[in-house]
Amino acid sequence: MRLFVASSDLANLVDFRAVMKLTRRASNLLLAMGLFMLFSWITRAFTWYANDLQEQPGYLPYVHLPIIVISLAIGVYLTYLGIKGRRES
């Protein structure tokens, strides 16, 4: 799998892209982190719905909703990178 990293040289920051390849170990770590995030934040979303949303009226339970959605998106992306990296290595 190829990830592109910007150059540290300021003149070539936009034009130059260096290729970084993921090893099998790095892919496994990304996959494990992604699956752990998905598991933990799916359970957090369930407890948010079951406890906070149904017991507390008003806007206060909705403060956690963007955090849950963003964390689930990060978990999905890490899982995607791990799976894609494992296939290409």
Which pLDDT tens digit goes with each residue over 42-53? 999 888 888 877
pLDDT band at 69 (very low <50, low <70, confident <90, very high): very high
Of residues 7 and 54, the one with the higher pLDDT is 54
Which pLDDT tens digit goes with each residue over 32-42? 999 999 999 99
Provide the CA 2 distance to its chain's centre, in angstroms: 17
0.85 surpassed by pTM: no
When computed from its CA atoms, the radius of gyration of the chain, rounded to whole angstroms, is: 18
Q: What is the pLDDT of residue 64?
A: 82
Query: What 3-state class would DSSP assign to 10?
Result: coil
Q: What is the pLDDT of residue 30?
A: 95
